[in-house]
Structure 1
Amino acid sequence: MASRPQELLQLLTRAERLCVRRLQCVLDEFDCSVEAWRVLALLSDGQGHHMTAIADCAFLPAPSLTKLMDQLVEQNLVYRRNDPADRRRILAQLTPRGQRYWQRIDRQVRADWAELTPLLGQEDGKQLRTLLAGLAGAVDGTASNRGGRGSQQVVR
């Protein structure tokens, strides 16, 4: 791990921004935002998801998600329905048009990212995913232990 927290955060931020920039170049061909891509990716499993899960996946606050979902519904990519298990909750799913749209986007994104595999290597890529998932879980776990706040008292 980087010797100072800011070094690790700098590396993570730089990598994330470069990856998102690369992804957005592909998504621009489809007039799709990264946030919409995240929503479509989650909904592509055909299961239907609650707004809370979608907001978490897209890293969006509720008002921004509502606006995005309204746009996706207006474009006939997503539809909303009441959850049969809890009529107070809403489930979102892809429409058939949304499924076809997602498949075209996903094919292009996968083709673009396949170019990176030889650069990073398949094993290093797997290890990177494992390490990042572990880091996210550890940080999320410590935030949960502090009552969900992102601050921590400094202990020396």
Structure 2
Amino acid sequence: MTDTEDPKAPALPATDRSLPIALIRAREKVMAPIRDMLSETGITEQQWRVLRVLAEGGTLDATEVAERASLLQPSLTRIARSLSDRGYVTRTRDHADRRRQMLAITAAGQQVIDDNLAQALQIAERVRRSLGHENYEQLLDLLGALQDFK
């Protein structure tokens, strides 16, 4: 023990019991096969999330897309520009509020989703099988509950 250590101070949990570290490790395990899938498309993880959100939600306000895709607004601005330049999304101004940018997936963007759908589903099914259906659903519920953490 050093002179600056307080013997009564609580210790940090071991790294194998640290929630932030466990979440990062789990994310890396889950994302590895998705990164492999995306490497063949020329689409980044963030671009994939934006396309997924738009495929699911239709035309959305950029702020909503950023929130649903877990992106910071400046990152979404750059990603939306890149996806628009590639013809995967359209960017328009809201007619009622010209400050709002509306994003929508194009047929070409939907084709990227469709072309990778079978492989994405296989990856998700491997994770589900690995955990078991109940654990998989419980994990999603618990992670959803963490979104309300303050």
Which band: TM-score by shorter chain? 0.7 to 0.9
Correspondence list, 1:2-151, <5 A:
4=13, 7-45=18-56, 47-137=58-148, 139=149, 142=150
Aligned-residue sequence identity (percent) comes to 30
For residues 44 and 78 of structure 1, the distance between their equivalents in structure 2, rounded to whole angstroms, comes to 10
Unaligned runs of 5+ in 1: 143-156
Q: Give the direction of change, closer, same or farther, for the CA distance of 1:62–1:115 in structure 2 (3 Å limit).
A: same
CA RMSD across the alignment? 2.0
Unaligned runs of 5+ in 2: 1-11
TM-score, normalised to structure 1, is: 0.78
* Shift, 1:5, TM fit: 8.8
For residues 31 and 19 of structure 1, the distance between their equivalents in structure 2, rounded to whole angstroms, comes to 19
Amino acid at match of 1:117: R
Q: Give the direction of change, closer, same or farther, for the CA distance of 1:128–1:31 in structure 2 (3 Å limit).
A: same
**Match of 1:115, SS?**
helix
Contact 2:93 2:100 in 1 (8 A): yes
Structure with greater Cα Rg: 2
